């Protein structure tokens, strides 16, 4: 994205008021966002909305007893000491992509396509009414453990070059089944957003001889004003150029391109920081719809030493409208510093 801003003519910094708008640049992608606090509400007003109640309850839930409801066979299941299951993973019954041998590109005139080859799995936790935002540290750590287990299973497969792990909560965020579940999609192509981040990270490293994400982690931890919660190994913060109100990123403090190499001890540290951050979003915004996803280096056989894996939590506080779709510039209606302060106050 190329937007030139002429700020040499006048310096408006003295005139900055609470209601002024600001363009901020994402240090990784180079993209600009608008922080338009002129339209803003007070932080506590974001949660002051009626949430849609479309959950038909556990009697009609397909994930209470996945076997009885005709889901695919489990590929992973964790049990409690008393025998009941706590988490299970099975292939999506209606996969966006299916296993197949060939990803040979097919040309159709000037166009290219390839078969929809890949793996699409569902990660379901036991309790219908217990979303990740209200789970305890060990329950969250178990979810990350399952993500890692399935990631490792798929990453070495032929035709798998990228693995997306994501979670939708709430109808407005795309969750069609209210029972808490995450999804894993192993795909033959590297996702465009990851490509942007890989390119941005490589470029930053070339000019600064440093990982851009390590730079962010160090700066955020030192400055503190956008931090939601941190421990010795992970940090959760509202990004300087947040795309949406109350966006939170969770990053390991120690440089690592690859989520799948996380240790058991790190999973617990991650679960603590992630749980606090998601819990704060849940409380601050009154159980909002949200998406979160893991961004990790592709598993396409190349090395990505300058990438740094992380999780992005994106609460659904507004709908993309013409301006966003037209330009790719997103408008956030609260300063990330104010959002972080409000999230901290929920802990
Ligand atoms: Zn359920
Ligand atoms: Zn790094
Ligand atoms: Zn990312």
For residue 226, how far is its CA from the centre of ligand 2 (angstroms)?
19
CA distances from 315 to 49, 188, 220, 276, 339 (A): 14, 28, 21, 15, 12
For residue 8, how far is its CA from the centre of ligand 2 (angstroms)?
33
For residue 194, how far is its CA from the centre of ligand 3 (angstroms)?
7
Task: Grade residue 7 by pLDDT with cuts at 50, 70 and 90.
Answer: very low
Token pair in block for residue 202: 């490589």
For residue 198, how far is its CA from the centre of ligand 3 (angstroms)?
9
CA distances from 139 to 86, 174, 175, 290 (A): 9, 23, 21, 19
Query: Are the C-beta atoms of 69 and 93 separated by less than 8 Å?
Result: no
Ligand nearest to the CA of 247: 3
Predicted local distance difference test score (pLDDT) of residue 13:
43
Residues in contact with 71: Cβ distance below 8 Å, sequence separation at least 6, in sequence order: 62, 63, 90, 93, 122
For residue 334, how far is its CA from the centre of ligand 2 (angstroms)?
28
Predicted local distance difference test score (pLDDT) of residue 11:
44
Task: Grade residue 157 by pLDDT with cuts at 50, 70 and 90.
Answer: very high
Secondary structure of residue 113 in the 3-state scheme: strand
pTM over the 0.85 mark: yes
For residue 312, how far is its CA from the centre of ligand 3 (angstroms)?
6
Q: How far apart are the first and last CA of the chain?
A: 37
pLDDT at 17 over 70: no
How far apart CA 342 and CA 41 sit, in angstroms, is 13
pLDDT in tens, 194-251: 999 999 999 999 999 999 999 999 999 999 999 999 999 999 999 999 998 999 999 9
Predicted local distance difference test score (pLDDT) of residue 40:
60
Ligand nearest to the CA of 304: 2
Cα–Cα nearest to 296, from 151, 167, 173, 156:
151
How far apart CA 62 and CA 60 sit, in angstroms, is 7
At what angle are helices 264-284 and 137-155 packed, to 10 degrees?
Answer: 120
Predicted local distance difference test score (pLDDT) of residue 176:
85
pLDDT at 4 over 80: no
pLDDT in tens, 63-95: 999 999 999 999 999 999 999 999 999 999 999
């Amino acid at each position: 994205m190329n937007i030139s801003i002429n700020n040499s003519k006048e310096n408006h910094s003295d005139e900055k008021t609470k209601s002024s708008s600001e363009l901020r640049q994402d240090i990784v992608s180079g993209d600009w966002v608008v922080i338009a606090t002129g339209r803003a509400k007070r932080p506590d007003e974001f949660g002051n909305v009626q949430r849609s109640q479309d959950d038909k309850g556990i009697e009609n839930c397909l994930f209470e007893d996945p076997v009885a409801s005709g889901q695919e066979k489990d590929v992973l299941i964790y049990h409690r000491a008393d025998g009941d299951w706590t988490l299970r993973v099975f292939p999506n019954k209606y996969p966006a992509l299916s296993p197949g041998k060939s990803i040979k590109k097919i040309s159709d005139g000037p166009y290219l396509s390839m078969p929809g080859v890949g793996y699409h799995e569902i990660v379901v936790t036991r309790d219908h009414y217990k979303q990740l935002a209200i789970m305890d540290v060990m329950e969250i750590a178990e979810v990350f453990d399952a993500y890692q287990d399935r990631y490792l299973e798929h990453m070495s497969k032929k035709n798998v070059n990228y693995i997306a792990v994501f979670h939708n909560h709430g109808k407005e965020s795309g969750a069609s089944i209210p029972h808490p579940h995450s999804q894993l999609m192993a795909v033959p192509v590297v996702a465009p957003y990851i490509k942007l981040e890989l390119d941005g990270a490589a470029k930053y490293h070339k000019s600064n001889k440093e990982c851009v994400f390590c730079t962010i982690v160090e700066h955020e931890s030192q400055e503190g004003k956008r931090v939601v919660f941190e421990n010795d190994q992970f940090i959760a913060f509202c990004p300087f150029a947040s795309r949406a109100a109350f966006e939170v990123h969770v990053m390991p403090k120690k440089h690592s391109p690859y989520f799948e190499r996380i240790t058991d001890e790190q999973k617990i540290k991650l679960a603590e920081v992630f749980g606090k951050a998601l819990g704060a979003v849940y409380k601050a915004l009154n159980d909002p719809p949200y998406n979160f996803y893991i961004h990790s280096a592709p598993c396409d056989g190349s090395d990505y030493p300058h990438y740094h894996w992380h999780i992005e939590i994106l609460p659904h506080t507004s709908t993309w409208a013409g301006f966003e779709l037209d330009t790719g510039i997103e408008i956030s209606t609260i300063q990330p510093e104010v959002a972080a302060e409000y999230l901290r106050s929920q802990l």
